[in-house]
Structure 1
């Protein structure tokens, strides 16, 4: 019988690193630590080795299609499939609270468009009854939107892939040509690109679950809480090990019928469609 396989993208530091550590302690199988930068990835592997933990390593840049193709071929040849896939790789890269077009494009390329490539190339390798977890954010809840047109389109239970793609394009075009208005998002439009990318990711999770339901694969997204990482410049109420507990529960212990859900850092399942809720990200939380 083939060994089980878990993969965590963007896992050389932060929450991804802590998830790999937890999987190595609890999961009976091969655990892949992946990173865009090979040197940093190997350093993370060495750190785990000191703890007596031995992940497999592979260089993976989620924003580079050819890199994902190479990783897919490696998994096919050496492992045959994937049982747990955690899409954790992400960037915030906001110099200020308001994004330039260049920042916005990079943030959306890495946090959202990369998921579409992974969906195309890696999801076919996820075995029946497998588990996929997309690391989203409180920026990914629908309550982050104030634009009535997009609230209406994305709050429909039968929204489509076209709806999500057009939503992201609307934002990028608006940022490029100056028609995007900050009041179209919560919190006066702070870190707008990250909000758009994570709302799109959470919506994509729902679409992915529908597509994979026949194979009994569970696909969920979650907000890991405000975690003390480079991305938050050290501000947060969770250490990376604390923040890894709920993701580990979702992929290792939660009922298999937990599917297509948007999950809070404490494990509570929230109604993603409730755009009147108070789950949106507030920039004041970044103040130490």
Structure 2
């Protein structure tokens, strides 16, 4: 009988850390806390050790292909596979509502393009019947996009990876040329890169589900709520431990029929395609 393995990316602090903590308490197997920075990762493990919990640690920088490969080889060699994979690693631009092209590019690289690398190198290790959770955001609901052309392409039931990548590329080119219209994205295009990256992740989740359907793997994306973390500069309506409850439910307890869905922080499954819904992120919520 093979040992069960759970992996949480970007988990040295915030929601990722709380998900690792919860998995250590409830998951019957090995739990990997991973982080880009080795020292911070090991300090986080020591914090959990002090609580009597014993996560394993491995360095993992999701935007560094070589790092993802090293981690993949490590898991393959030691355990042969993964049962739970939580794609949590992300950055936001909470301090500034509008960012430079370089900052936007970096946000897209970490929040969206890294998931493509993980999909290529770690998804093949996910065992049949496993669970994958992409941590998205309310910025990841389709209602964040107001450009009619892109709403049409992204909501097409025959969506392809090419559609998603071209959407992301369109945004980056507009950002580079300084001609993104504030009407193209909700809330006057505040936090535009984060919205674009997370919408791309939510859309990608549905494609991933189609690809993995034959292996009975559940892939979902979810909005963890506005959580008091470093990423939100302390703004939010609940703690990281509280925010970890729905992710833990999705990877440990949710029915296996819940697949390819976009889920709200209260476990409610939302219609991701409802572009006229009021689910998009509003900067007003950050004003304390």
TM-score w.r.t. length of structure 2: 0.99
State how 1:69-218 maps to structure 2 within 5 Å. Answer: 69-218=69-218
- Look up the SS of the partner of 1:134 in the other structure: strand
Q: Does the CA-based 8 Å contact 2:130-2:216 persist in structure 1?
A: yes
**1:46 pairs with 2:46:** yes
Runs of 4+ in structure 1 displaced over 3 angstroms? none
| Residue deviations 1:53-87 (CA, integer Å, cap 9, x gap) | 00000000001000000000000001110000000
* 1:93 positional shift: 3.1
- Distance in 2 separating the partners of 1:232 and 1:96: 11
Identify unmatched segments of 5+ residues in structure 1. none
* 1:177 positional shift: 1.1
- Look up the SS of the partner of 1:260 in the other structure: coil
| Residue deviations 1:176-197 (CA, integer Å, cap 9, x gap) | 0122112100000000000000
Structure 2 equivalent of residue 260 of structure 1? 260
- Look up the SS of the partner of 1:128 in the other structure: strand
Q: Does the CA-based 8 Å contact 2:187-2:282 persist in structure 1?
A: yes
Q: Does the CA-based 8 Å contact 1:94-1:103 persist in structure 2?
A: no
* 1:95 positional shift: 4.1
* 1:155 positional shift: 1.1
- Distance in 2 separating the partners of 1:287 and 1:44: 30
* 1:94 positional shift: 4.9
Q: Does the CA-based 8 Å contact 2:94-2:233 persist in structure 1?
A: no
* 1:38 positional shift: 0.5
* 1:170 positional shift: 0.2
Structure 2 equivalent of residue 243 of structure 1? 243
- Distance in 2 separating the partners of 1:233 and 1:96: 11
- Distance in 1 separating the partners of 2:249 and 2:75: 24
- Distance in 2 separating the partners of 1:44 and 1:95: 25
Q: Does the CA-based 8 Å contact 1:35-1:59 persist in structure 2?
A: yes
- Distance in 1 separating the partners of 2:73 and 2:167: 32
- Look up the SS of the partner of 2:183 in the other structure: helix
Structure 2 equivalent of residue 220 of structure 1? 220
Q: Does the CA-based 8 Å contact 2:94-2:231 persist in structure 1?
A: no
Q: Does the CA-based 8 Å contact 2:61-2:67 persist in structure 1?
A: yes
- Distance in 2 separating the partners of 1:94 and 1:112: 17
- Look up the SS of the partner of 2:176 in the other structure: helix
